[in-house]
Amino acid sequence: MSEKINALKAEISAATAKTQEELEGYRLKFISRKSVLGELFADMKNVAPEDRKAYGQAVNEVKQQAEEKFKELIAGLESSDAGSKSSAPIDLTLPPNVNLGTVHPLTYIHNRIVEIFQKIGFNVADGPEIEDDFHNFTALNFPENHPAREMQDTFFIESNPDIALRTHTSSVQIRVMENQKPPFRTLAPGRVFRNEAISARAHCFFHQVEGFFVDKNVGLVDLKQTLYYFAKELFGQDTKVRFRPSYFPFTEPSAEMDISCNICKGKGCNICKYSGWVEILGSGMIDPNVLENCGIDSEEYTGFAFGMGIERIAMLKFQVNDLRLYSENDVRFLNQFKHLS
């Protein structure tokens, strides 16, 4: 029995482990429950009673030796791995292994809309998201009793009822016309806020693009041709367009613009409510009162304006049926737009 123990001691002392597989082999042979040491402990019953104490001490010495050796092998393997990694040459010509993100679909649509209108001379303007009553309502010809002034539609600042989160980027139109002289051909994209219940088709914040053109002799035909051009550039040359009479406080006459449903190609589906048409924006000729509120002579100048929701355009463009997906930052959803990068 002592010869077997001595042979195990020698084998443990000579053991090496240059790989994880060899280290695991050592552990299974000398450390695990089914190791050779387990067999030695099992042989205790075959040892004479008077020799069991000495035998047990000898086996425990082998066990302790095996565990210490195992620690040495682990430390040696780790230092060897670290050395091999640090000394490995780096090929600087290889592309970096980086998992890049993607352009957000709303950013893509925002940039695309701006690109389309910049081609026909529109510049881009910006304004504050916290607005006063004059720029957000009064200058845009909203009567004092207009529903949009009520709490259910607007986030007012509690300490000052004349200050609110802007409900549209039309306020940028007022700021531009106040501080510059016509002609204007301006696009105003940005985030806006409405006090609405969040659902698949509505949110308390969204992104809007306001556009306006003010000059001498601007007419309804200019508005229609501008929006015809936009719709066909964004949705395709086969897109059909129609205008329907509507009402907005800051334009007269006013119209909503529909396009033929790009999902069912005008045949009818649940997105277009089986009509074959989808509304994408509101528009109209700027009311003379709005021009006068900004110090512009409405007898000399006329203009048109239009506004659209970027989320709605993106829903149609990418056939997304839930507005909330755009702001939830779900990587599974965003990864579907890697082709936009």
User: Which residues fall in the annotated binding site for Mg(2+)?
Assistant: 252
State how far the Cα of 73 lies from the Cα of 69, in Å rounded to an integer: 6
Q: Binding site, residues?
A: 252
Specify burial of residue 20 (Cβ count, 10 A radius: 0-12, 13-18, 19+).
exposed
Q: Are 132 and 163 in contact (CB under 8 A)?
A: yes
Q: What is the CA angle 149-155-161, rounded to 5? A: 65
State how far the Cα of 168 lies from the Cα of 327, in Å rounded to an integer: 19
Q: Are 247 and 280 in contact (CB under 8 A)?
A: no
Q: Are 214 and 222 in contact (CB under 8 A)?
A: no
Among the listed residues 67, 66, 74, 65, the one whose alpha carbon sits nearest the alpha carbon of residue 18 = 74
